[in-house]
Structure 1
Amino acid sequence: MTHRAATLRTHQESSAAWLFFKRWLANPLSMASITPSAPSLSRLMARQIRRDPDEVVVEFGGGTGAVTRAILDAGVPPSRLYSVERDPELATWLRRHFPQVNVLEGDVADICRMLPEEVRGKVGTVLVCLPMILIPAEQQRAIVDAIFDIMPPGRAFYAYTYSARSPIRRKALGLRGRRVGFTIANIPPASVWRFTRE
């Protein structure tokens, strides 16, 4: 990376951190953290991706693009990535900084309606970058059902959490879940969990 490119990325990261903090102030429960995911957590999430060449990846909670960038750096073509963001200001940021990524603005529980028909059922991996542990059980159920509606049978989705326990109510939702990674370099330290249907 050239000095100019490195300077530009540093400026973008600073601007992203400030925007993220402002949106956290506006709605703390929807963000769960005052800073975007650290590179260590973003890379840990991106390493979980499994997709066939004709499949896409879906990211829930694009924020300012920390995990989005890691997904692209892991080799997923931008045209094969769909990032869902409910906050209009953050969705605008994502479109400006990741113009080739498919940014969908809305509630993740509506993902089946938002995705183009030709990719429904062809989602290799869903990465959930939302504070699922703070979401009530019935809303968790709606989100989980929506995830499995867009993936082929037998696939997994991944979610990170700052808690020591699972971010999803596994038993109530009929899920198998296990921790697949941990990073202390994130603020706060975070774990990544893998979930499948029983």
Structure 2
Amino acid sequence: MDDKYLIIKSIAENSDGIVTTKQIEDAGLNRTIIKNYVNQDLLVRESQGIYTLSSTLVDEYKLLQMRSEKMVFSYGTALYLHGMSDRVPRLLDVTIPQGYNVSRIKKDHPEVRFHYVRHEWWEVGLTKIHTPMGAEVILYDKERCICDLINHKKHIDMQLYTQAIKEYFKSSADVRKVLKYGNIFGIEEKIRTYMEVLT
């Protein structure tokens, strides 16, 4: 293997097996070499500007999130990553700001369910976690997940809803934080009712 490929391989190995055109260019390499490595089956083109090492098993959560910095794992997917649901998501839930264009991602990823929120709500509760494969991804914290469940109860699977709500309020509740979020989303009284019943 040549030196240029070894540089790309090193970048990818430090980025969960994923490398971008920008990272390659930032390393002083010309983007035109990428096509050669794809043709040699050393790199796999996953989407525009995103490549993986053909020899590496890549984390699907990380790969999806690299398509857009505005996609945050939420609802059932975030609950699973937090260990609040034992159900491996069949559909991946992500939340994005209203008006943000994800038409290309939707086309490429029918397994993703998009939720839209106001711009000022999108950042509430952002945090990071490691996936089962060890990659770091962005998702909503437990308190934001609980607020989203309560706010959209009609659209949530009841088993998922009940398990997460009970587990949260009986074990890991951060009362101040969840009430603060509840105030932002206008559901503080609903949250207080759950707290009275479940704690």
The answer to whether the superposition gives a TM-score over 0.5 is no
Determine which structure has more spread, i.e. the larger CA radius of gyration: 2
TM-score, normalised to structure 2, is 0.30
